[in-house]
Chains A and B, each alone.
Chain A
Amino acid sequence: MNAPRALRAASVLLVALAAALAAGPSAASDPLDALMQQLALRRHGHVTFTEVQYLAVLDRPLESSGELLYEAPDRLEKRILSPRAETLVLAHGVLSATRGQRTRTLPLAAWPQLAPLFECLRATLAGDRAALERVFSVALDGDPSRWTLHLAPRDPAATRLLSQVLITGEQADLKTVEIVQADGDRSLLSIGRELSP
């Protein structure tokens, strides 16, 4: 082997190696990482929603509708407009619920059984995989054009109330959030059209 050939072979190897290294992060070897990165790009959102709750104790489902507002990374507002106005704001880990004149605040850290209900949506919107995996064991199926996140709560107190959360979406847009309670009751939140900010 002469020297120039050896050099050429070496340089080919180096280029290949560099390409592989550069491609590593962006090519998203893990589809969940890829989804999260895509979701994290969204800094705010303002959409309509409808929610249907199926409760065993009731003869027919409860329906409600309103708007959802999101500001990255940790402010989520749910404005229920019908059948009766109520505003829920989750900001910096504290949930405040306003009905009429009355505002009630719940620090979610104090209510481990309620925390997953809000964290599932907030962490997904923020693309915060670490936060999501702190609260849930996470599984993803489908492809970027139509995906489903299966979230099962880790906290034993939470599993007494909540059995799992299913979030579906297309690319960076969430479509539905289905919450299945431990007693079989469930709610389905469907995200509608985008509103101007």
Chain B
Amino acid sequence: MTRAGWAGTLVFAVLAALAAALVARARYTADLSAFLPRAPTEGQRLLTEELRTGFASRLIMVAIEGADASTRAHAAAELAQRLRANPAFVEVSDGDPQGFAHTADFLLEHRYQLSDAVTPERFTTEGLHAAIGATLELLASPEGLLAKPLFTSDPTGETLHILDGLDPPPIATLEGVWSSRNGRRALLIAQTAAAGSDTDGQERAVVAIHSAFAAAAASLTPATALRLRLSGPGVFAVTARAVIREQVIRLSTLSAILIAALLLAAYRSVPALLLTFVPVASGALAGVVAVALGFGVVHGITLGFGVTLIGEAVDYAIYLFIQTGRESARLAVGPDADEWRRGLWPTIRLGMLSSVCGFAALVPSGFQGLAQLGLYSIAGLVAAALVTRFVLPEWRPRVLRTRDLTALGTALARILEKLRSARAALAVLALLAGFVLFEHRATLFSRELYDLSPVPIADQELDASLRADLGAPDARYLVVVSSPDTGAALSAAEAIARRLKALTEAGVIGGFETPTRYLPSPATQHARQMSLPPPAELAAHLQRGLAGLPVSAARLAPFLNDVEAARTAAPLTPRELARTPLGSALDALLAVSGSTTTAFLPISPTAASDLSAAALGEIRVAVADAMRAPPPQLVEVARADFGPASVTARLLDLKAEADDLYTHYLTQAVSLSLVGLAAILLLLALTCSPARALRVVAPLALAVLTVAAGLAAAGQRLGILHVVGMLLIVAVGSNYALFFDRLAQHEHADVPRTLASLAVANLATVIGFGVLAFSSVPVLAALGRTTAPGALLALLFAALLAPRAALKTPA
């Protein structure tokens, strides 16, 4: 090794050690929210917030199948009991009637704040007569059996009235636990403490459910075959991550083995094979360090995908070893070293720089995932190129002999020579591709975020059937009310709910939910308390009101006491509800975080169809009306109690927002890629002549065009990962085109060896991405199906479009 070699190795070792230390101390996350876009609009911010931490994101639907109903019910009750003891779960519901009894107690205690029937008129002589008369009629009916114990304290029937209004989703019950409608599954709902985007937390919850179920099933005698099935956003995230991780590991192992076999066949030298992986490994290290320093946190997906993106770094070593693999193999000094420094390295450097230009376009993306991958690739490729330039040649053992591939290169040159006569066909191909893309222009790009979903159809169907059974619809339309003040948000929600009720009765919408069904605003609670007359007055009204009814005032003493207590009760807040089963219902609809309270009013469409634009318009008008003119008495109380608080309300179509968001990032990725392409063109124009730059870029553009047309013709819609794949075609292909350019420029260049190295490098790339193309994960498959054929075409087109001189072999 030369003195420079020792110096280079020393610097490399120090940097590698430093990088390893940084990598060891870097912060890693599997939290998908780190990968979620920085949302540009208010609606999209709310959407991503809901995806991250919303109540719906923390629900796990649990189904138990197999055996008979009573065994399932026992297992479900046992499972629920075990999960309730686990702090990973905030709430576990299984239809246990105890929960219902608890709710009834709570409703009874706070009935005069919660019942919307409480008005001043109800406690007049006439009002009491009518209300108590109605309750007596109820006593005569079978439900009266349940109402009877409440009669003396609640003769106006407020508790039952509230229960009626709650109208819980009618979940079927079998053997005391919730059941699917077909009676084949026992059902539970678990609400995790971890946010939906905290995939690690969700995974712990899923594992906890599985082990609790195993324990519950084991405690059953006799042991029976029960199956556990889980669904929900968190479960999907956990499954998707596991599938992606498993596939990334399996497919990268497979492609590493295949590439190693290829290189071994090409080199016939194990040391050369091992050295080939040094640049890419250094690049991966540098990439992680750069992302850790640049973003503060490295996402698991960046780790998984990054190495794939800098696969080009393997090519650097291939070019080095195959193109300089002469007998003496002396790279540090001698003719090879000269060849390396003057000819080969500048070409690799330019190829690397053009790839960096391409990836640099990803860095400003608002999609943090793309930005991380861009930075990772830039740092990785620069590091890999530097290692290839300054370290690898020095390490190369002096006596290392790699196989001479001149014969292969010569054969390739002859074939390409013949194919060149068909160059004109490329013009036809370009036109054809352009035509196909034009024909598919309306459906070219994917507009739906869900196209990215790695969740198998069977799991999606299970989710849909569990949701239907549990009455937990996938809310698409929401009115979102935000305010710094919880009371003001609830008052606004009440005003909007009044108008939504009118829309429901008019048949514009199918129905809606509101947090005020469970927790009325403090203003409304206060107004209800104010409608309760003082004791003497109430006693007098009651005495007269009972005339003609088969009950005497003396029996209703508990009623008088309760009303008096209710008049001075403190307002109910989310805190009191949290201890009851109503708390989870409220949690789904009211989020108090930091200084902002957000109330959600999910709207269900009529029938099973989506809401029409006209219906959405009517809802918007209703919301605007409600915000303009809240009922005067509520405003007054709200002012008195809380001061004027600013409230905003808006209608949100979650699916449209998600798709808009996705389209926004897709459009951004496409335009950034075009900027990257322009930057590459500029770079090449500056380093060589514009004519040469065009010649280098033309085959790459044609390859991208052809692949895009091919995908469109095959019915694939292009998504973000297709765009990344196209960027990779340009990154990898620019090296090929630059080598042909070099062959054309240098009369003495070794054509057969260059061709052979390009063929081997290309084959390695095609193998690496070709394996991904068979993945069942849509994002991986998209990357593979774009890059593998694209890289092959880029090489072919670059060869065909190169000047004749580039293929000239020594006779």
Contact = CB atoms under 8 A, between A and B. Distances in A.
Instruction: Decide whether A and B are members of one complex.
Output: yes
B174 A57 contact: no
Contacts of A102: 164
Contacts of A112: 176
Nearest to B167: A104
Contacts of B396: none
Nearest to A63: B140
A107 B552 CA distance: 35
A110 interface: yes
A107 B551 contact: no
Contact of B142 (A55, A107, A109, A114): A114
B141 A114 contact: no
A179 to B, nearest CB: 9
Contacts of A193: none
B153 to A, nearest CB: 11
A161 B139 contact: no
B172 A64 contact: no
A88 B141 contact: yes
A57 B151 contact: yes
Nearest to B152: A57
B145 A161 contact: yes
Contacts of A104: 143, 164
Contact of A84 (B137, B152, B176): B137
B145 A114 contact: yes
B545 to A, nearest CB: 15
A107 B148 CA distance: 21
A86 B172 contact: no
Nearest to A64: B140
A11 interface: no
A34 interface: no
B9 interface: no
A73 to B, nearest CB: 20
A83 B137 contact: yes
A107 B97 CA distance: 13
Nearest to A84: B137
A8 interface: no
A57 B551 contact: yes
A62 B172 contact: no
B551 A58 contact: yes
A80 interface: yes
A62 B136 contact: yes
Nearest to B134: A84
A189 to B, nearest CB: 11
Contact of B170 (A105, A118, A161): A105
A118 B141 CA distance: 12
Interface residues of B, number: 25
A161 B144 CA distance: 11
A95 interface: yes
A113 B140 CA distance: 17
Q: Interface size class for chain A?
A: 20 to 34
Interface string B117-144: 0000000000000000000110111110
Nearest to B183: A109
Contacts of A97: 141-143
Contacts of A57: 148, 151-152, 551, 555
A185 B139 CA distance: 12
B29 interface: no
A91 interface: no
Contact of B139 (A55, A99, A117): A55
Interface in A108-131: 109-110, 112-114, 117-118
B550 interface: yes
A55 B148 contact: yes
A181 interface: yes
B174 A118 contact: no
B173 interface: yes
Residue of B136, B152, B164 most packed against chain A (CB within 10 A):
B136
Contacts of A110: 95, 97, 172-173, 176
Contacts of B136: 58, 62
B142 A95 contact: yes
Residue of B145, B174, B175 most packed against chain A (CB within 10 A):
B145
A59 interface: yes
A53 interface: yes
Interface string B542-553: 000000001110
Which 7 residue pairs across A and B have the least CB separation, nearest first?
A110-B173, A60-B550, A58-B550, A62-B140, A84-B137, A59-B550, A64-B140
Interface of A: 51, 53, 55, 57-62, 64, 80, 83-84, 86, 88, 95, 97, 99, 102, 104-105, 107, 109-110, 112-114, 117-118, 161, 181, 185
27 contacts: A51-B140, A53-B140, A55-B148, A57-B148, A57-B151, A57-B152, A58-B551, A61-B550, A62-B136, A62-B550, A83-B137, A86-B137, A97-B141, A102-B164, A104-B164, A105-B170, A109-B173, A110-B173, A110-B176, A112-B176, A113-B145, A114-B142, A114-B146, A117-B142, A117-B145, A161-B145, A181-B145
